[in-house]
Structure 1
Amino acid sequence: MPSVWRPSFLLVVPLVLAAAIAAATSSARSPADLSGDWHLVVDDSILAERRGVTRRYHAFAKDPRNPVLVADRPWEGKVAYVYGSALPGEDGRGYRLWYHAWQGGEYRNLYATSPDGLRWEKPALGLVEFQGSKDNNLLFRRTKEDHLPVVLWTPDDPDPSRRYKLINYDYGRTAPANLVSGFWGATSADGIHWRDLPRNPILADPGDVGNFVWEARAGRYVGYPKVFAPVRGYRRRAVGYTATTQFEQWPPAELILVPDRIDDRWVTQDKQHTDFYGLCAFPYESGHLGLLWVFRITDGNNDGPIFVELVSSRDGVKWHRQEGDRPPLLDVGAPGAWDGGMITTVNQPLVEGDRIKLFYGGARHTHGGTKNAESAIGVATLRKDGFASLDAPAATPGAVTTRRWRGGGGPLRVNGDFRGGALRAEVLDAEARVVPGYGMEECVAVTADGIDLPVRWREHTALPTNARGLQLRFQVAGGSLYSFHVGAGVAWEDPAAVPDLAIDFEGKAEPARWTLVGGAVVQAGAGGNRALVLKKAGDAADLPGTAELGRTFTLAARVRTGSVSWTRIFSAHRGTGEPATGELIFDFNPRSGVVRLVVNGQRVQSRPRFLGDKQSHHYAATYDDGEVVLYVDGARVGEGRIRQGSVHLFSDRSLIEHLGAGRPLTGITLAGDLRVGEDPGTRFITFRDEAANAPTEQLVGTADDLLVARRALSQAEVERLAPAR
């Protein structure tokens, strides 16, 4: 069984792993490790309040000398690009680049070096033959379908022959090798001479794009491979997650991120939609950042531009999208430009002093334009920590208050530009009172521009200590705040847990918690209790904010119906075909007396129980790290297990299972919010195939006492919910 890392707010690190991490962090830090103790303001995850400030996003600046590496060798054709890796030299000087080329239906993996990131050399490696000669920079070759060479540098590996790890994709369609498709692994002492792992592929075949990273501080390998999921009427490319402490063994990927409705705001014609082509995510200072490859499908099929947006996270699993219009972090160039059609990137950028450097692949053509394909590699830069800032004008200062933290200490430092105004800060104690001597009026104004500016008070140059925790309140007047530093070993107070969605339809303010669909109404019955009333096909209620269920959850409702066929209680199913990853069905059949929960492409169903009396019954399902229990009227009627991994929906509407034996890594992420009463889908398109939803599972009757909780209720708790009101 793979040794996998499972994200948790209550993570207990095994002693062996902790020792390995301590050994790694005590040695010389790899230039590829971008983690640290600065706290960026790219999202609100560590902020308690902000008033009078505007979050402004900043794009990478493309170098005017681009492209810096072009396809100019016979074995490269006209297409040289990266879904690969760029690393500094082992001595910290120069750059190394692993990239690939495509020519006449064949992929080739290549290696290049540069003293400055602008002038590139393609050394004769003498490894792979091309047209009778090995005088080329071809790196390795299993088949003509090997591509996507992601290289991870792990200099602290005790085995020198394994300090470089390669993970790349092969379609497995090439005779006579006929490899098993998926992500293959290899190791190397120098990043040039590679040896395949004894067992390949190391990651089952979820899709042909995936980006991977070594998280040195946590001691784990993390991957973000493509996952296919049904999302709002289309089979779409989405983002999966997998993690392991053993490079040789990876658990199947789980769905974590799908395009939302804002991603489709550009659509003007039928069948246009947005996919996520890939995600390059990596630890950056105290959190995680991601380069999201956004694919706007303009022809309803497989063509359109790809550009890069910023996403941010505290744990690499739950991602925050940008506010407002979501401007590109790295956009395509002008029409006809060398990068005017598509942008892809290396798996992570590099930080050099006060700048971030990102190597990227640019294509003149859009995704479907392979007939005249032409692409090259460029470089772009950004201020360190400069992905987003909190800005306020000098005339109307703004305030930013952090959440409470413990630990840290030493001087307060900020990254910002305050040449047009000033920044001040005050320190608050655990009761949100200003610590004496650390008030705003005692703070010496910061009026400079820099990535590491000290903040002082008249009598203090270091932060106070307080075992119960501290907060900061910044005042920004005519400037931009990018990040701040309050010392090492900081532990932030967790945000409040997502509250249970409990709806009894009695409160006057409750309608904001649901949206009625079709002819659905909320009205009082004969006993005076209000309930959701569904009378015909298309009647339903949507429950906003219910797509992220996580590793534990409970669904429950009190339902009355005269139906004798399958009846939906909760659904996030496309309405046609077998359920896949990203979908959920919780329903029952009054005739057979069976209750079932279908999630992650798998089902658990109950033992038969009489349900055909047309009376009100209480139904509940709990999910706890894959363990499912089903209840009717408080009695346990079924149980089973949902396996970790994904069940992918392919273009021919078939389902491909990639499931593991371990516990879930991230839990259940749905492709859309839950609906009560029927499937939310109306039609569904996979590639060139279209299917309509026949509403044959419509709940006709009443639903009341709805519950969506991000915790698995005990049987005693379910029993207390069951009695009729």
Structure 2
Amino acid sequence: MNRLFVADLSRLLAGTGLLAFVVLLSQNTAANESHSQRGHSLLLDDRIVKRVENAQLTLGHVTKHPANPLMVEDRPWEKRFDNLYANVLFDRDVGHYRCWYGPFIVDHSARSKSQQDRQTPYRPPSDRQSGLCYAISKDGLVWEKPLLGLVEYKGSKENNIIARGPHGVGVFRDPHSSSPDHLFKQFFKLDEISVAFSADGLHWSDYVDCPEIGARGDTHNNSFWAPTLSKYVGITREKNAEFGRLVARTESDDFIHWSPAEVVLHGNDHNLQTYAMPTFYHGGVYLGLLMIHDQQQDRVWTELAWSPDTKQWHRICPGVPLIPNSDREGDYDWGCVYAAATPVIREDEIRIYYGGSDGLHFGWRCGSLNLATLRPDGFAGYTQVSEQKPAIVTTTPIRTTGRLLALNADVSPSGFVEVAAIDAAGNKIAQCRLTKSTTGEMSVLDVPTDAGMYRLRFEFSNATVYSFRLRERTVRR
């Protein structure tokens, strides 16, 4: 799918098959307080959707990249990728992709084991040790593991190890940071939850312990700047007898002093446990890539959750994977699918990197870095339930202020999307119908200047609607 923008009308309704459309509001719109203040709204946010008729929220469709697996355990110190705990970003300052990942560097390896050998129980060694390693890529597909010369492994520093010992390291680039020495931040478990800082992502400060958090932290710990809270938020893990693994949250004003961790999400029972949840901000909401560990099958998959504030979480389609495991036993991501921290948002797609493994969570397994992609804003959208009548999704009120509206939707060749502005009395004051036959034309929703507050109503058939974006109008001379 292509993401369509007002500035590129030539792509409007272009191509074949499923299409994405742009709707233009001639008098322009902006969101009220319930909508994203950045003008970008995901329809999975129930603060935006007022009424739903013959429609249901469904997960977006991911495509696993044909080049998978992208990176495997091929260095002597990469004994076991396990869940990989990858952190991937595209760093515009250096012009390439960067990945920080956490293999066990002291462990037993499954690489040379036959399938028969793998039937014996796996038991980690008593001196098992985690590490933090580093890789780079120009295109996000072909990865290199540079020899950094930073950490000794078996008498040599010719490796890509950044640190020995920390477990479940979350790394992120913090544009909010006022100090260049703190541009990159780590949030991880050593003896307790700790943090570290770096100017370049390679050379790190001494660890700062944060005992006040008080969490178990034996997972992929991750942290980020929460723009709606003006705080740093850390997502980690707790555990109890009833639910097993639990997602916990902590917050900080300065990334050094943190609040005690509090549980914010857990599974339905002890059999399906919430293993970890890398979290990020997108489209006016906080999204969580929630790992579920099936205790009976000993497999892990990735689901989707959202939150308005990082405290109250809602699972979308519980039990349905956003990134499904392979159904072929022994395939590279048959056993576990473990999402990396923070997808890479591109103009034409969303890249979700993930750690996959060919064996069970507690068994012998080989791991890898992999890639799944989504269409723009395609995390989840509304689809039609019954084919006998159209689906209708109506938003909460919007006020006229001087912007354009771009709608992200997939429409099949036999489908349509009709967008209408509805006033307080329920009257349709403007509408625009988009179908496959409407090719290469600008469709305008002509809202009267005195419309005041109104709702948007999306009526559609054989289509999925994902989001709308409020954009400044381009003045043509």
TM-score by length of 1: 0.53
**Aligned residues of 1:295 and 1:305 also touching (Cα < 8 A):** yes
1:82-101 alignment runs, 5 A limit: 82-91=84-93, 93-101=95-103
1:231-246 alignment runs, 5 A limit: 231=242, 235-246=243-254
Residue 356 of structure 1, aligned match among 345, 350, 354: 350
Q: Which is bigger in relative contact order (C-alpha 8 A, separation at least 6)?
A: 2
**Aligned residues of 2:229 and 2:309 also touching (Cα < 8 A):** no
SS in 2 for 1:477: strand
User: Residues 465, 247 of structure 1: CA spacing in aligned structure 2 closer, same or farther, 3 A cutoff?
Assistant: farther
1:122 counterpart = 2:145: yes
Percent of paired sites with the same residue: 31
1:387 counterpart = 2:379: yes
CA distance in structure 2 between the aligned counterparts of 1:225 and 1:308, rounded to whole angstroms? 16
Unaligned 5+ runs, structure 1? 1-33, 171-180, 265-271, 489-725
CA distance in structure 2 between the aligned counterparts of 1:113 and 1:464, rounded to whole angstroms? 54
1:221 counterpart = 2:244: no
- Please give the per-residue CA displacement for 1:340-363, whole angstroms capped at 9, x wherever unaligned: 111212121011112000111111
SS in 2 for 1:96: strand
SS in 1 for 2:181: helix
**Distance apart, 1:155 and its partner CA:** 2.9
Which of 53-62 and 117-126 deviates more?
53-62
User: Residues 242, 39 of structure 1: CA spacing in aligned structure 2 closer, same or farther, 3 A cutoff?
Assistant: same
Residue 461 of structure 2, aligned match among 477, 498, 502: 477
1:191 counterpart = 2:214: no
1:404-443 alignment runs, 5 A limit: 404-406=397-399, 409-418=402-411, 419-429=413-423, 431-434=424-427, 436=429, 438=430, 443=431
1:165 counterpart = 2:185: yes
Unaligned 5+ runs, structure 2? 1-35, 108-127, 473-477
Residue 311 of structure 2, aligned match among 314, 317, 322: 317
CA RMSD of aligned residues (A): 2.8
1:263-278 alignment runs, 5 A limit: 273-278=271-276
Q: Partner of 1:403 in structure 2?
A: 396
Task: Give the letter for the 2:462 counterpart.
Answer: G
CA distance in structure 2 between the aligned counterparts of 1:464 and 1:221, rounded to whole angstroms? 42
**Aligned residues of 2:215 and 2:236 also touching (Cα < 8 A):** no
- Please give the per-residue CA displacement for 1:442-478, whole angstroms capped at 9, x wherever unaligned: x23222599xx97622x45x98662xx4321111133
- Please give the per-residue CA displacement for 1:186-205, whole angstroms capped at 9, x wherever unaligned: 11100000002555557333
**Aligned residues of 1:306 and 1:342 also touching (Cα < 8 A):** yes
User: Residues 198, 326 of structure 1: CA spacing in aligned structure 2 closer, same or farther, 3 A cutoff?
Assistant: closer
1:375 counterpart = 2:367: yes
1:155 counterpart = 2:165: no
SS in 1 for 2:177: coil
- Please give the per-residue CA displacement for 1:219-270, whole angstroms capped at 9, x wherever unaligned: 3211221122343xxx51111121222101111111111212xxx6xxxxxx
Q: Partner of 1:282 in structure 2?
A: 280
**Aligned residues of 2:171 and 2:222 also touching (Cα < 8 A):** no
User: Residues 280, 35 of structure 1: CA spacing in aligned structure 2 closer, same or farther, 3 A cutoff?
Assistant: farther
SS in 2 for 1:446: strand
- Please give the per-residue CA displacement for 1:17-51, whole angstroms capped at 9, x wherever unaligned: xxxxxxxxxxxxxxxxx995322222533211111
User: Residues 407, 245 of structure 1: CA spacing in aligned structure 2 closer, same or farther, 3 A cutoff?
Assistant: farther
CA distance in structure 1 between the aligned counterparts of 2:251 and 2:403, rounded to whole angstroms? 34
CA distance in structure 2 between the aligned counterparts of 1:228 and 1:201, rounded to whole angstroms? 17
Q: Partner of 2:4 in structure 1?
A: none
**Aligned residues of 2:350 and 2:375 also touching (Cα < 8 A):** yes
Q: Partner of 2:55 in structure 1?
A: 53
- Please give the per-residue CA displacement for 1:290-322, whole angstroms capped at 9, x wherever unaligned: 111001101xxxx71110111122222212222
User: Residues 487, 354 of structure 1: CA spacing in aligned structure 2 closer, same or farther, 3 A cutoff?
Assistant: same
Residue 182 of structure 1, aligned match among 192, 215, 231: 192
Which is higher, the Rg of structure 1 or of structure 2?
1
SS in 2 for 1:161: helix
1:318-333 alignment runs, 5 A limit: 318-323=312-317, 326-333=319-326
TM-score by length of 2: 0.79
CA distance in structure 1 between the aligned counterparts of 2:77 and 2:436, rounded to whole angstroms? 51
**Distance apart, 1:153 and its partner CA:** 0.8
Q: Partner of 1:38 in structure 2?
A: 40
**Distance apart, 1:76 and its partner CA:** 0.9
Count of aligned residue pairs for this structure pair: 410
